[in-house]
Amino acid sequence: MSPGPCDPRTDSYYGRPVVKAPSWAPRDIAGYFFLGGLAGAGSVLAAGAQLTGRTTTAHAMKISSLAAVGLSAAALVHDLGRPSRFPHMLRVFKPTSPMSMGSWLLAAYGPAAGAAAAAAVTGRLPRTGAAATAAAALLGPALATYTAVLAADTAVPAWHGAHRELPYLFAASATAAASGMALVTGPLGENAPARYAAVLAAVADDTAVRAAERRLGSVAVTYRDGRAGKLMRAARALTAAGAAGAVLLGHRSRTAAAGAGLALLAGSACTRFGVFHAGIASAQDPAHTVGPQREALRRRTAHSQ
């Protein structure tokens, strides 16, 4: 039986994927995306808390950022298969390679976050701790978003097609996670910046997702259906609920603040895992590779006439 005109098998050789889906393990790499964002944005909040005299929150965020970057590095090494492979990635410094730059970024950020946390816990070398805090805060935004550039640099349709919006989405998601951690670990009297950041993150997250779906066109279905769709809907609900709880109740009740923070953390994790699974689904369906290419060809042809 020959395939019909609308059969997806007409888009590739016997319906096989046109591009190979990444062999990354979801738990390792999506977890790496989430934890790196939490660490990077957390360092920015820690520096801000330190500057404004919110010392309890600053200390908690420095410790959580160190823990997050440690776990993210462990997830990356686990996916690589052998610990020795990570140092091998540092043998090359290639500014045009997101993988190379990300490896160097992680290698630079980790010691800075460690020194900042050590100074906060021990109370020793305050000047060194302040310098490390500033360094981690400067590197934090890049750590939180470079994984979006790394994903968009692939041929995976759902990632590459949203290469302009994905860094903004990851930045918003990371801010939501860091705000959530600050709400969970910080006292009520110090959580005002975290509450405001949570609202901004929720709005930016939703805006970035909608913009990405508009740009992706037919490929956006990968963000709405299947496992990715469930995760993205859960992310939207959890992030919105966390932001609402933070701004309405987060200054009144320690329990409400912690609950809002946990919702924001869970929403951020769902976003990262949802984006990951959307990419895998788009790579496995040849229609998501061939369809956008044909549409782009039609637009170029119409424009030239």
User: Tens of pLDDT along 288-303?
Assistant: 766 666 665 566 666 6
Domain membership flag for residue 21: no
What is residue 197's predicted lDDT score, i.e. its pLDDT?
Answer: 96
Cα–Cα distance, 71 to 100 (Å, whole number): 20
Percentage of residues of the chain with pLDDT beyond 70: 84
Average pLDDT over residues 254-261: 95
CATH of the domain at 141: 1.20.1630.10
**pLDDT tens-digit series, residues 113-156:** 999 999 999 999 999 999 999 999 999 999 999 999 989 988 89
93 or 3, which is more confident: 93
For residue 156, give both structure tokens: 């995976």
How many CB atoms lie under 10 A from the CB of residue 57?
Answer: 26
**pLDDT tens-digit series, residues 156-204:** 999 999 999 999 999 999 999 999 999 999 999 999 999 999 999 999 9
Cα–Cα distance, 99 to 80 (Å, whole number): 13
Total structural domains within the chain: 1
Range of the domain at 212: 26-304
pTM of the model: 0.86
**Which range among 4-8, 232-236, 292-296 shows the weakest confidence by mean pLDDT?**
4-8
Domain membership flag for residue 10: no
Highest mean pLDDT among 6-10, 80-84, 168-172: 168-172
The residue type of 106 is L
- Whether 89 shows a pLDDT value over 70: the answer reads no
Domain membership flag for residue 50: yes
Q: N- to C-terminal Cα distance for the chain? A: 39
Domain membership flag for residue 140: yes
Domain membership flag for residue 15: no
Domain membership flag for residue 9: no
